[in-house]
Chain A
Amino acid sequence: MPIASAVLELVPRLYRETGLPIPAPRGVLSGWASGLGLPRRGRLLLYTGGLYQLAPYIKAMVSALARLEKRGGGRLLGAAARLGLGRLVRPPRSEEGYGAEVLRSIVALLRAAGHEPAFLGEEEMYSGILLHDLGFDDLFAEHAERLAKLLQASGAETIVYPDPHTGVVLRELLPEYTGYEPNAVSYLELLDQALRDGELSLTKRDRGSLVIHDPCLYARGLGVVEQPRRLLEAAGYRVLEPRRSRGATACCGGPVAALSPGLALAIAEERLRELAAEAQRVAVLCPVCYTSLSRAARGAVEVRDVALYLAEALPAAEG
């Protein structure tokens, strides 16, 4: 029983109520940074867009929707929504901290490269990307205006983003919808530059092989392709290429997971098959790819974020 039309109605409703497109606890966007001592203001602002923090909840939501798609369909989803979806979509404890762990690794890597990023704390806003991707242009346009104001008011010279969807919002959509063109770079670009300038040192030792999964929007939109490869190699990983890679990379299926978890899983399985043909370790560069591919991998193949692999090579981690 399809749930697509029910989800399409649910997303804007949830967004209006909470500012987020899916059910997640209050404070989810800022909690990860506690204890890091990140300043509120600075020349370099780490704007997360919220996707990493939401990833465990997205994954839990997709699992719940997958059960509904198999059995109850849209009607049951409507009933569940009225009862409060929060209870339905709690991620398992083992996964709840995934986004926080990646973001903290990104901060550690940036610091090792000589950058001290600022972070907006409780003011941090969701990027709005799902509203855009589902076609809710009016909602996204309003959201984009608020986001543009927030980022402009931060006074930062450079905004660093952790994932490709947030990158697309900053580099393509804010200019298109609001006229504001922030100077935005991927954290991988910053790390790569620091590596080449000799300001980032990663402990290079043989760390075995892994296969890299390029996110569509890095490879076909933002030009972040060689940087993660150079960084992984500098840390001593042997980077293998799947059949479809770089500009020809294949999508993980994540963007349709909310409308059809079954279709998304089939797409993720096809992609995982290509990746696992090269190695049993997959480096992903995007939280959406993580949720899709880890769902398809069912624990049989290791799927982890590139920041986690790189953080292992920080001198502090090496002890």
Chain B
Amino acid sequence: MPVASLRALLDEAVEEAVSAALDPGVREALRRASLNALEAIPRAERGAGGLVEELRRRVRRAKEEAAARLDHYIEEAMESLRRVGARPVLVQEPREAVEYVAGLAGRGPVVFSKSMTAEELGLRRGLEERGIEVWETDLGELLVQLSGGKPMHAIAPAVHLTREEAARLVREGLGAPVPEDAAPEEIVAAVRRFLRGKFVHASLGVSGANALAADTGAIVLVENEGNIRLVTGLPPVHVAVAGVEKIVPSIEDAFAVALLEAINAGLYPPTYINVIAGPSSTADIEHHRVRGAHGPRELHVLLVDNGRREAAKTWLRDILRCIRCGRCQWECPVWRVAGNHWGGRVYGGPMGVLWTAVTEGVEKAAALAQLCLGCRACDVVCPMEIPLSRTIRRLKRLAAEAVH
């Protein structure tokens, strides 16, 4: 690793983290959100009772199995997807994905439900640069889109914005008549009115996937807002974007992932769990199967590699178990002052450093790793028991070796 570039990366990483930490607004918002999370998540866990341990065990096993035989499960998932009438595509890198989706989008509008993998691919920006109208429909993600910034937490992307800022963004960005001191309810109602039309007229809906079952090709998505139902149900074409680490052996495993995600998001039971196995169809006339009934007539599934298959063969493999619940972020002292301004371009906090290693290379991640405290708080809360701090320290070694 060249010393000069490592020095620059390290100093850049510090500069970004320190400026966020010194911003009193960001500090206050992160403090409030992490305190709320500290109450909501244990409450959800109590609600789920003995199920929590069972889910953790099941998902851990499923993810370990899938990461150990990743190519096999990619193959099986693609076959299953074809069997249910979906069109799987394995993409190696972001540009491929942007071009593929742009080819399906027509003139839009395109509606997105929140997906960190789409963010990793730069999918929304890529479409916007091609002149296609795109709207995020998850409220937090829409606020991030309007602010021109980046998501600040895997599950709560707008944790760094106060309600006053949210009102201003919606007023200026959507032209909605929202007063400066609007209550959250008013902001939500204004966004709902604005997005209704976009859902109905969208040419394409883009979603992520919490899990993809290799045995059946079923995609499972968990949510509370209801936007995922609309994004994946109303437009004539649906594209689901899934990192290949989202593949689990069975449909039961996929449900377990969704439930575990919900608990870690602090809401149990989740309001909606969506299962999508192929495009909509009907056989109500002469028992002849017609693709495209009320839901989409086409379902494309982008299986994203972008470094994951390589990582599965190295000491970075453990991070492929990550379900991106963000528990490590709520507990990480560095994240609690710097937010996603520490961890990488897209992902933040302890898991972010490791995802950056997978998707953007170990050099950048090694520089970021130097800001890890080694306090082990992340290790204790990770439901997947990923040795986060130990793996991050291994990245530190690369940085130290480069300067020494």
Contact = CB atoms under 8 A, between A and B. Distances in A.
Interface of A: 2, 4-5, 8-9, 12, 69, 74, 133-139, 216-217, 220-221, 243, 247-251, 253-256, 259-260, 262-263, 266-267, 270-271
Given A260-B17, A260-B18, A266-B337, A247 B380 contact: yes
Nearest to B9: A5
A216 to B, nearest CB: 4
19 contacts: A2-B10, A2-B12, A2-B18, A133-B374, A133-B393, A133-B396, A134-B396, A135-B401, A139-B404, A248-B331, A248-B380, A255-B373, A256-B334, A256-B370, A259-B370, A263-B14, A267-B333, A267-B373, A270-B336
A80 to B, nearest CB: 17
Contacts of B35: 243
A221 B376 contact: yes
Interface string B358-390: 000000000001111111110110000000000
B186 interface: no
A251 B333 contact: yes
Interface of B: 6-8, 10-15, 17-18, 21-22, 27, 31, 35, 38, 331, 333-334, 336-338, 369-377, 379-380, 393, 395-401, 403-404
A32 B401 CA distance: 35
A255 B11 contact: no
Given A2-B10, A5-B6, A263-B17, A270 B337 contact: yes
Contacts of A134: 370, 396, 400
A266 B370 contact: no
Contacts of B369: 135
Given A262-B21, A271-B333, A135 B376 contact: no
A136 B399 CA distance: 9
A135 B375 contact: no
A254 B331 CA distance: 16
Nearest to A268: B333
A283 B403 CA distance: 37
B11 A216 contact: no
B22 A262 contact: yes
Contacts of A262: 18, 21-22
Contact of A270 (B31, B380, B395, B401): B31
Given A135-B398, A136-B404, A263-B337, A4 B380 contact: no
* Closest 8 pairs (CB-CB, A-B): A135-B396, A135-B400, A251-B375, A2-B11, A5-B7, A266-B21, A216-B375, A2-B14
A69 B399 CA distance: 20
Contacts of A263: 14, 17-18, 21, 334, 337-338, 371
A2 B15 contact: yes
Nearest to A267: B333
B14 A259 contact: yes
Nearest to A271: B333
Given A74-B11, A259-B14, A266-B22, A8 B377 contact: no
B331 to A, nearest CB: 8
Contacts of B22: 262, 266
B110 to A, nearest CB: 38
B389 to A, nearest CB: 9
B380 A220 contact: yes
Contacts of B12: 2
Contacts of B380: 220, 247-248
A8 B371 CA distance: 12
